[in-house]
Structure 1
Amino acid sequence: MSTRTTLPIAGYGIRFARSSESGAVAALLARAFSDDPVMAWMIRVPADRERRIARYFELAQRQVRPRAGGVRVAATGDGRLLAAALWSGPGRWKTSAPGELAALPRYVRVFGLRGMSRAGEVQNLMHGAHPDAPHWYLPSVGTDPGLQGAGVGSALLRQQLTDCDRLGLPAYLESSKAANVPFYERLGFRVTSELRLPQGGPALWPMWREPSSEEAHGPVELG
């Protein structure tokens, strides 16, 4: 993907994102998802894609922030964000019908009228495959493109996965890139199926992780 940076990343930690960082989190995730096949399928104009993806992640954070552990980041001591993950706890992954209705005009501004039908296809496909058993759900995780492959993303996810192991709870996600499947498999996830979007659209791979009896360890958390 992107060329890796030579910027040193020693001294970062994992913590919950602050409300004042929502814009920075959205911008980071937009950079990470700028070449995502599913995002490209929903947002067809490349020149405007990253800005619209950032808007999408602003909205996505509003859905998870009221929930415990909704947004976690890997960050340096001086506040530079390196990676971000959105999580939803057991039974809280789905937005209520009133919440979806209230957010609809904002999503129209993200996807446009034509893109909304494609976004609806993605949502319906994912909702139809979503497991019923209690679990932690990871809808989105992204690392700054210049740091991908440096271990920051896996360190970020291991913090929550360690909590899942301690509590005896599974975790679930959908990978929108085949190349990312091995990354999640190294963290204990396994592919459960393949979902194919209509009209020649890209695929998604639902992945499930059973809790492990051996808890993983990541960087010390920053306050």
Structure 2
Amino acid sequence: MSTRTTLPIAGYGIRGARPSESGAVAALLARAFSDDPVMAWLVPSSAGRERRIARYFELAQRQQRPRAGGVRVAATEDGRLLAAALWSGPGRWQVSAVRELAALPHYTRVFGLRGMSRAGEVQNAIDGSHPQTPTHWYLPAVGTDPGLQGTGVGSALLRQQLAECDRLGQPAYLESSKAANVPFYERLGFRVTAELRLPQGGPTLWPMWREPSSSPAR
């Protein structure tokens, strides 16, 4: 996999996130997900929501970094982060029971004691609907800084990994938490496979699957 790709906008590039950038990546994703239906449902109070979501994405990065693909960002040459994506390589999307247990106290600080039951049911529902095909890449989260959404930075970030999926002949999978984002992913080759209504009256997710393409993405 290439370590850096030139974006259509001069001065931007795509690379793996550095360990020192974990806080900046978490803050960027928290801004991008501040109006996300699932996050708003799991963290219903708007007071401190963005801070708690950032804490969640710091934890998520710890789970992703040991995996193939890991955390990737679109960034300027001077280090400004524009978009970030978390990827898990084939066969690596599930977190071990030991790592999940170790992370429980940290997730409790994100969702609170009452919210942990709901968060656990959500994770179980997502895991239960996840395809069992071992040779796919999984995209649990991607976000673009709100001020740059619609500029093509996010799609360029995803196309870099999807081109690698095409080269390897491997599919990709994600869950869209917004109906409005489904066309964005469809333009990248994903197709909706189901509708997943989260338990306890939660919002709907749209699982999406992408077969590898033999022709370059446009």
TM-score between the two structures when normalised by the length of structure 2? 0.94
Question: Could you report, residue by residue, the CA deviation over 1:156-214 in whole angstroms, capped at 9, with x for unpaired residues?
Answer: 00000000000000000000000000000000000000001233321000000000001
Structure 2 residue identity aligned to 1:154:
S
Take 1:125 and 1:70, find their aligned partners in 2: how far apart are those partners? Answer: 23
Residue 106 of structure 2 aligns with which residue? 106
Partner-residue secondary structure (3-state), 2:47: helix
TM-score between the two structures when normalised by the length of structure 1? 0.92
2:184 equivalent to 1:183: yes
Question: Could you report, residue by residue, the CA deviation over 1:57-79 in whole angstroms, capped at 9, with x for unpaired residues?
Answer: 00000001012220010000110
Question: Could you report, residue by residue, the CA deviation over 1:112-169 in whole angstroms, capped at 9, with x for unpaired residues?
Answer: 0111111112101111100011200000000000000100000000000000000000
Take 1:215 and 1:182, find their aligned partners in 2: how far apart are those partners? Answer: 19
Instruction: Provide the identity percentage.
Output: 84
2:53 equivalent to 1:53: yes
Question: Could you report, residue by residue, the CA deviation over 1:91-123 in whole angstroms, capped at 9, with x for unpaired residues?
Answer: 100100011001000000111011111111210
Which runs of no fewer than 5 residues in structure 1 stay unpaired? 1-8, 218-223
Take 1:196 and 1:104, find their aligned partners in 2: how far apart are those partners? Answer: 24
Residue 146 of structure 1 aligns with which residue? 147
Structure 2 residue identity aligned to 1:58:
E
Take 2:111 and 2:47, find their aligned partners in 1: how far apart are those partners? Answer: 14
Residue 214 of structure 1 aligns with which residue? 215
Take 2:188 and 2:119, find their aligned partners in 1: how far apart are those partners? Answer: 28
Residue 21 of structure 1 aligns with which residue? 21
> RCO higher in 1 or 2 (8 Å CA, sep ≥ 6)?
1
Residue 6 of structure 2 aligns with which residue? none
| C-alpha deviation, 1:47, in angstroms | 1.3
Aligned-pair RMSD on alpha carbons?
1.0
Instruction: Answer whether contact 1:173 1:206 (CA < 8 A) is retained.
Output: yes
Take 1:197 and 1:211, find their aligned partners in 2: how far apart are those partners? Answer: 29
Partner-residue secondary structure (3-state), 2:207: strand
**Residues 199 and 66 (structure 1 numbering): CA distance in 2 closer, same or farther, change over 3 Å?**
closer
Which runs of no fewer than 5 residues in structure 2 stay unpaired? 1-8
Instruction: Answer whether contact 1:41 1:118 (CA < 8 A) is retained.
Output: no
2:152 equivalent to 1:174: no
Residue 4 of structure 2 aligns with which residue? none
Take 1:129 and 1:197, find their aligned partners in 2: how far apart are those partners? Answer: 11
Take 1:44 and 1:115, find their aligned partners in 2: how far apart are those partners? Answer: 9
- The number of aligned residues is 209
Residue 116 of structure 2 aligns with which residue? 116
Take 1:155 and 1:57, find their aligned partners in 2: how far apart are those partners? Answer: 21
Partner-residue secondary structure (3-state), 1:107: helix
